[in-house]
Amino acid sequence: MPSEKKGITVKVDAELHAQVREYIESHGMTMSDFVAQALDNELHPRIQEGQNMGNMRTMAFQVPEEMFQEIKDYLNRHHMKQKDFVLGLIQAELDRDRQQINSETQTEEQASVQESDNTESEDYCEDEELDETDDMGMEMG
């Protein structure tokens, strides 16, 4: 079932309009396709080649044919390159992992602080007990 479509009407400079027309004709797109792609790219930026990624290394792997076709369909629907898709997935997982590690570190630090507070409380209680024993000894004596 296709999703509901809504219209967007905008006025742009005639020169820009001519450039867009030329672009969509040379790429076999409709104006709707172009605007949808432009909006999607602006709202959901993807990692682009040459974004100061430093030295590059190659990763290669095989996937089952069925999954490959699903990925290909996804990429076409979202106007993405395979490289951008995979780099986005990797970056999202690395970010998630980094966040989890930070969360675990904070939890460990909080537990350490609580343990330290508990140890200080126990030390205080032991000191009180010693004082009470000293007082008892004085009364008996």
Closest listed residue to residue 40, CA positions, set 76, 87, 91: 76
Residues 110 and 128 in one domain: yes
| Residues ≥6 apart with Cβ < 8 Å to 138 | none
Residues 92 and 114 in one domain: yes
What confidence score (pLDDT) does residue 11 get? 92
Domain that residue 131 falls in:
54-140
In a domain, 26, yes or no: yes
What confidence score (pLDDT) does residue 108 get? 85
Q: How far apart are CA 99 and CA 117, in angstroms?
A: 27
Residues 61 and 37 in one domain: no
In a domain, 1, yes or no: no
Instruction: Give pLDDT tens digits along the chain (141 positions).
Output: 567 888 888 898 999 999 999 989 988 889 988 888 888 877 877 655 555 567 888 999 999 999 999 999 999 988 889 998 999 999 999 999 999 999 888 888 888 888 777 766 555 555 555 555 555 555 555
Give the number of domains in the chain.
Answer: 2
In a domain, 115, yes or no: yes
In a domain, 2, yes or no: no
Q: How far apart are CA 17 and CA 13, in angstroms?
A: 6
Closest listed residue to residue 41, CA positions, set 76, 80, 8, 86: 80
H-assigned helices in 2-141:
14-26, 31-43, 65-77, 82-140
What confidence score (pLDDT) does residue 127 get? 52
Residues 87 and 31 in one domain: no
User: Using an 8 Å Cβ cutoff, are 50 and 56 in contact?
Assistant: no
In a domain, 25, yes or no: yes
Phi, psi of 9 (to 5 degrees): -120, 125
In a domain, 129, yes or no: yes
What confidence score (pLDDT) does residue 74 get? 92
